[in-house]
Structure 1
Amino acid sequence: MRRVVVATRGPGLTDVTRQVAEALREGAAGDGLLTLFVRHTSASLTIQENASPEVRLDLVDALDRLAPRDAGWRHDLEGPDDMPAHVKAVLTGVSLSVPVLGGRPALGQWQALYLVEHRDRPHEREIVIHFIGTRDDGLRDGFG
């Protein structure tokens, strides 16, 4: 297993595709399955379009409409953005499974891996990366 720490700037999608690909290279991954897990309850992971920045902005807006701040949440100990962040994380999910072919995530041409920050202020978010499959040298399974 590997861990990647991602610094966010506040609400939005941060592309983590390069960091994940680097972890696969460092682990000498061949073919198999990659699992990503974000260790937080107010951030999430998604696979989404990597070409148009407007898509990412529209997604943040859509999530704000689905979980607005003024919905009368009971949980507000950490501020008005906290409970909506939890709801958004439930909707988008905290883990992903991605096939790996030839040591690279088998993403489509317009796909990228994103950490989604749902809180207002910047955070450092930790993603756990787990690979199971063949190594590029054919000797072992998974990260050693």
Structure 2
Amino acid sequence: MRQAIHHLHVSTRTRGLVEISAQVRAFVREQRIATGLLTLFCRHTSASLLIQENADPSVRRDLERYFETIAPEDPQRYEHDTEGPDDMPAHLRTALTHTQLSIPVEHGHPVLGTWQGVYLFEHRSEAHTRDVVLHLIGE
């Protein structure tokens, strides 16, 4: 059994989905592990990870609009605003999504569906550099 770990630094410009599928595939390919399990972990409380449709960009726009309605930026709603008015809505959006994903690896590739992509979901309005840890175990 072998394992590898890598920190993927993802730059975001604003709130929204950033596809990281290509970087994830490249990491798996470089490890030369044929069968295993890839774990991705986002080290932040105001960003998350998603596996989502990557063919039609309207899906991403709809997701972003939906999260704006269920966790709106409204200073009247929240007590916590230490880092600004988008801080608490970002924490709520992260609580409703995932900070960790597990993806099987088969024949040296992540097992994703035809229309699936891996995304970092930035929940803050300002630009950030996010750290996503990739851990692959297998043989």
Q: If the length of structure 2 is used for normalisation, what is the TM-score?
A: 0.94
Count how many residue pairs are aligned between Structure 1 and Structure 2: 134
- The alpha-carbon deviation at position 95 of structure 1 amounts to 0.5
The match for 2:120 among 115, 118, 121 is 115
Which residue number corresponds to residue 133 of structure 1?
138
1:99 equivalent in alignment to 2:111: no
Deviations 1:66-102 (A, max 9, x none): 1111261110010000100000011011010111111
- The alpha-carbon deviation at position 133 of structure 1 amounts to 1.0
Give unpaired runs (5+ residues) of structure 2: none
Q: What SS is found at the alignment partner of 1:120?
A: coil
Q: What SS is found at the alignment partner of 2:34?
A: strand
Which residue number corresponds to residue 88 of structure 2?
83
Which residue number corresponds to residue 140 of structure 1?
none
1:23 equivalent in alignment to 2:22: no
Taking only the aligned residue pairs, the percentage that are identical comes to 51
User: What is the CA–CA distance in structure 2 between the aligned matches of 1:104 and 1:8, rounded to whole Å?
Assistant: 26
User: What is the CA–CA distance in structure 1 between the aligned matches of 2:13 and 2:105, rounded to whole Å?
Assistant: 29
- The alpha-carbon deviation at position 13 of structure 1 amounts to 0.6
1:8 equivalent in alignment to 2:2: no
Which residue number corresponds to residue 63 of structure 1?
67
User: What is the CA–CA distance in structure 1 between the aligned matches of 2:43 and 2:31, rounded to whole Å?
Assistant: 21
User: What is the CA–CA distance in structure 1 between the aligned matches of 2:72 and 2:108, rounded to whole Å?
Assistant: 40
Which residue number corresponds to residue 42 of structure 2?
38
Q: If the length of structure 1 is used for normalisation, what is the TM-score?
A: 0.90
Query: How big is the alpha-carbon RMSD for the aligned residues of Structure 1 and Structure 2?
Result: 0.9
For 1:45, give the aligned amino acid: L
